[in-house]
C-alpha cells in the first residue's frame, strides 16, 4: 500500500468563464505552509522535508471526490507530490545497430 498523501491546509477553487476558459485559484496560509503539512494521521511535516536537492517542492491537485464543493466553495484538494525518479533506473537499451552487432546491413 502506498504512503498516505500529505494534504496542504488551504483552498483551491476552480472558476469557469463565459469564453470557456478556466482558472484554478489557490489560497494557502503562509505560516501554516512553511511550518507544516498535514497527512491523514495528523502528524506534522515541515515543508522543507519535501524539497528536492534544488529546493523545489512539487504539488498535486485534483477535483474533490464526487465533485464535492465545501462551504467555502473549495473544489479541489492540494497535496505534496513526493514522487521522485528512481536514481538506479536504467533505460532499456534499444536494439543494437548493425554496426554494433557485427551483422552486415542488407542492401535493400
Tell me, yes or no, whether 98 lies in a domain.
no
Q: Return the SS3 of 99.
A: helix
CA distance 40 to 59: 16
**pTM score of the predicted model:** 0.54
Tell me, yes or no, whether 38 lies in a domain.
yes
* Domain limits for position 24: 6-80
Using H for helix, E for strand and C for coil, what is the string for 47-95?
HHHHCCCCCCCCEEEEECHHHCCCCCCCCEEEEECCCCCCCCCCCCCCC
Tell me, yes or no, whether 67 lies in a domain.
yes
Per-position pLDDT tens, the chain of length 108: 567 777 777 778 888 889 988 888 888 777 767 765 555 555 566 677 778 888 888 888 888 877 788 888 888 888 888 877 788 888 777 666 555 555 666 676
Amino acid at each position: 500500500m502506498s504512503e498516505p498523501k500529505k494534504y496542504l491546509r488551504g483552498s483551491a477553487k476552480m472558476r469557469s468563464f463565459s469564453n470557456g476558459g478556466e482558472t484554478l485559484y489557490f489560497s494557502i496560509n503562509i505560516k501554516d505552509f512553511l511550518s507544516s503539512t498535514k497527512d491523514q494521521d495528523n502528524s506534522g511535516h515541515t515543508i522543507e522535508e519535501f524539497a528536492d536537492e534544488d529546493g523545489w517542492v512539487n504539488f498535486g491537485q485534483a477535483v474533490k471526490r464526487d465533485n464535492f464543493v465545501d462551504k467555502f466553495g473549495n473544489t479541489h484538494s492540494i497535496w505534496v507530490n513526493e514522487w521522485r525518479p528512481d536514481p538506479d533506473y536504467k533505460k532499456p537499451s534499444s536494439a543494437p545497430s548493425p554496426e554494433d552487432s557485427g551483422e552486415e546491413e542488407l542492401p535493400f
